[in-house]
Every structure is written in C-alpha cells, then in structure tokens.
Amino acid sequence: MRKVIIAGNWKMFKTQAEAQEFLKGFVTQLEETPEDREIVLCVPFTDLDIMSKSLHGSRVRLGAQNVHWEESGAYTGEISAPMLTEIGVRFVVVGHSERRQYFGETDETVNLRLKAAQSHGLTPILCVGETKEQRDAGQTESHIFSQLEKDLVGVDQDNLVIAYEPIWAIGTGDTCESKEANRVIRLIRSQLTNPDVTIQYGGSVKPENIDEIMAQTEIDGALVGGASLQPDSFAKIVNYK
C-alpha cells in the first residue's frame, strides 16, 4: 500500500516565533483530516527543537531540510543524522534542486546523505527533476533516470519518499500539468525495485490545484514550498478532496 504524504518545505523562512505562530493557526484545522494522510513540516534547523516540543502528541511529523553523511566531524555548517533524531526529527529532504543548484550538491553526495539518513532511521525525501532547458531538449526522462540511478545506489527503498519536482515549476506559479506529472511519476516508479515507494509531486502546489494533483493515479502526495508558509493555505492543501 502506498502511503499519502503531504510535506511542507519552509526553506529559509520563519524564526521560532513565526513557526509557533504558524502552528497555532494550523493544527486546529486538522480535525477533519483523514487519518491515512501523513503530514510533515520540513523546517529550518533553528526551528526543529521548539517545533519538536510543540508538535509532541500531534499528528504532524517533523522534517529537516538536509543531513550530513558523517555522524560527527570537522564539517563546519553541517548537521548529522544523530543530531536530528535526538530531537525527534523523522524526515529529511535530500537533494533538493536548490541544494544542487546553489550549494554544489551532486548525485554522489545526495547518495551519501540518503544512506546516512536511513541508517539512523530517518525517512529521506529525495528530490529529482529536470530544468526547463532539459525539458525543451527532450531530456526529461534521461536526466531523471540518471539521477535515480546514481542517487539510489545502496539505498533502502522500503524507507524512502521521492519527490518529482520539475525545477521550472518551483516557486514560479507555473505548475506542471497534473497529467504530465502523473506520466513522469509513473516512469520514475518503473525504475524502482519497490513499487510502493511514495512519490510526491512538487512545484507550485497550492489550494487551487491540489485536488487535481491528488486525483492522479500515480501521485501519492505533495512537497509544498510557498503555499506551506501560511496556516490556512497549507491546511487547505492537506485537507484536499
């Protein structure tokens, strides 16, 4: 059975005070949310501890936005898996296109991070997706297959979430047609050894398009950036029809 997982990715937004303000408005809107939907908030490192305490006993799971592959060491600016699990983090975004684009993340480091996360019991959310140029050149499939092949070496597919995020759709308001996202996600699934991996769509997901996205047969959830920052809009997304 494929699990439905809706995750917010706050990126570099929200101080602790703002994060707590968000929760006040958000958790009260989950009373009618079907039990079989997993809700995750992937927040900045500085918000994790206070969010973990505030979310204790709630159904919202906590996620980080990156993890290093070593348990400790001289890696200035990095955070390790034991540091995350100690404070109750369950999920971690790995290989987001912004990490690949601005911070030199490669398929090799993505692979190391995925394996480290899993070995400490974290569930990684692996992001893959093509640029506009790759799409226009007809390289969407070959690019994503290459990412999957390299990123997933030695990775346990029983504890994995994948997010298909076409880069041209991230933060642009230009959502990928839901049928096209469904087609690409079917292709991604065809490359996996475990057909039950949850595969999300990400890229300009909002309350206005979530119903159509979630109505697609292959799409098991969403990774939501901008629209996860406001309690009302993220609540509308997790409460999709």
For the annotated catalytic residues, the residue numbers are 96, 165
From the CB of 76, what's the least distance to ligand PGA, in Å?
25
Mapping DSSP onto H, E and C, the string for 197-241 reads CEEEEECCCCCCCHHHHHCCCCCCEEEECHHHCCHHHHHHHHCCC
* Residue nearest to ligand PGA as judged by C-beta position: 225
Whichever of 40 and 224 has its CB closer to ligand PGA, that residue is: 224
Binding site for ligand PGA (CB under 6 A): 9, 165, 170-171, 202-205, 223-227
Sign of the torsion angle spanned by Cα atoms 122, 123, 125, 126: positive
From the CB of 234, what's the least distance to ligand PGA, in Å?
11
Whichever of 60 and 170 has its CB closer to ligand PGA, that residue is: 170
From the CB of 89, what's the least distance to ligand PGA, in Å?
18
Distance from C-alpha of 18 to C-alpha of 89, rounded to nearest angstrom: 19
Whichever of 155 and 210 has its CB closer to ligand PGA, that residue is: 210
Q: Are 105 and 75 in contact (CB under 8 A)?
A: no
From the CB of 219, what's the least distance to ligand PGA, in Å?
14
Whichever of 54 and 233 has its CB closer to ligand PGA, that residue is: 233
What dihedral do alpha carbons 51, 17, 240, 198 form, nearest 10°?
Answer: -40
